[in-house]
A and B are shown apart, each in its own frame.
Chain A
Amino acid sequence: MSKMINALRMRIKDSRFSLHRNQPPFAFHGGLKLDTTKRALAKGIVELPVPPTLVLPLISYAKQPLSPLIVKGETVQRGQLLAEGIVAPTSGVVRSIEKHETIHPGALSIDSIVLDSDGLDSRLVEPNKLSSDERLEELIAAFTTDNVANAGDQKSVLATLHQFALAGLGGAGFPTAEKLMAAKQGLHTLIINAAECEPEIACDEALMQSASDCISKGIDAIVKLTQCESCVLAIEDSKPSAIACMELSLQNIDSSVQLMIIPTRYPAGAESPLIQSVTGRIIAPREKPVQHGIMCINVATAHAFWQALNYQPLDSRVISLGGRAMPNPCNVRARFGTPISFVLENTDNDSLANKSRVRAGGPLSGFDLRSTAVPVTARTNCILVEPSSPETPAQACIRCGYCADVCPAKLLPQQLHWYTIAAELKKCEQLNLDACIECGCCDVVCPASIKLTETFRYAKSQIGYVNTEQQKAIDAEQRFAARERRVEKRELAKAVAIEKRKLSIKANKQPDSTQFNAALERVRSRRGAKKP
Chain B
Amino acid sequence: MSIFVLLMALFAMLILMGTVLARLSRPAGTTEQSNETMMIEKVNALLPQTQCAQCGYPGCRPYATAIIKEHALTNRCPPGGDKTIADLSQLLGTPVLALDTDCGDEKPALVAVIDESVCIGCTLCIHACPVDAIVGASKLMHTVISNECTGCELCLPPCPVDCIDLSAPAITASQWQWPRPV
Contact = CB atoms under 8 A, between A and B. Distances in A.
The answer on direct contact between A and B (beta carbons under 8 Å) is: yes
Contact of A483 (B44, B130, B171, B176): B130
Interface in A103-120: 104-106, 108, 110
Contacts of B177: 458, 461-462, 464-465
B15 to A, nearest CB: 40
B61 A477 contact: yes
Interface string B166-182: 00000111111111110
A473 B147 CA distance: 11
Contacts of A457: 178
Contacts of B48: 469, 473
| Chain A interface, DSSP helix/strand/loop, else mixed | helix
Contact of B178 (A458, A473, A477): A458
B172 to A, nearest CB: 7
A64 interface: yes
A457 to B, nearest CB: 4
Contacts of A418: none
A455 B179 CA distance: 9
A106 to B, nearest CB: 5
Nearest to A474: B49
A7 interface: no
Best-surrounded residue of B133, B147, B171, B172 (most CB of chain A within 10 A): B172
Best-surrounded residue of B171, B177, B181 (most CB of chain A within 10 A): B181
A169 B172 CA distance: 24
Given A454-B181, A480-B130, A59 B51 contact: no
B181 A455 contact: yes
B39 interface: no
Best-surrounded residue of A59, A462, A472 (most CB of chain B within 10 A): A472
Contact of B176 (A65, A106, A469): A106
B60 A477 contact: yes
B49 A480 contact: yes
Given A476-B131, A480-B131, A108 B173 contact: yes
A460 B60 CA distance: 28
A448 to B, nearest CB: 13
Contact of A62 (B59, B174, B175): B174
B123 interface: no
Given A479-B131, A482-B132, A63 B178 contact: no
A483 B148 CA distance: 14
Contacts of A480: 49, 51, 59-60, 130-131
Interface residues of B, number: 27
Interface in B130-177: 130-133, 147-148, 150, 171-177
Contacts of A95: none
A59 B60 contact: no
A100 interface: no
Given A476-B131, A482-B132, A483-B130, A451 B174 contact: no
B74 interface: no
B50 interface: yes
A350 interface: no
Contacts of B50: 476
A476 B174 contact: no
Contacts of A105: 178
B87 to A, nearest CB: 12
Interface in B57-78: 59-61
Contacts of B150: 472, 476
Given A59-B173, A108-B171, A479-B148, A461 B178 contact: yes
Nearest to A479: B131
Contacts of B174: 62-64
B21 to A, nearest CB: 34
A482 B133 CA distance: 12
Nearest to B48: A473
Interface in A434-486: 451, 454-455, 457-458, 460-462, 464-465, 468-469, 472-477, 479-484
Interface of A: 59, 62-65, 104-106, 108, 110, 451, 454-455, 457-458, 460-462, 464-465, 468-469, 472-477, 479-484
8 contacts: A63-B172, A458-B181, A462-B177, A465-B175, A472-B147, A476-B150, A477-B51, A480-B49
The 10 closest A-B pairs by CB, nearest first: A473-B49, A461-B177, A63-B174, A454-B181, A476-B49, A457-B178, A479-B131, A63-B173, A451-B181, A458-B178
Given A105-B178, A108-B171, A468-B175, 19 more contacts: A59-B173, A62-B174, A63-B173, A64-B174, A108-B176, A454-B178, A458-B177, A458-B178, A458-B179, A461-B176, A461-B177, A465-B175, A473-B49, A476-B131, A479-B131, A479-B148, A480-B60, A480-B130, A480-B131
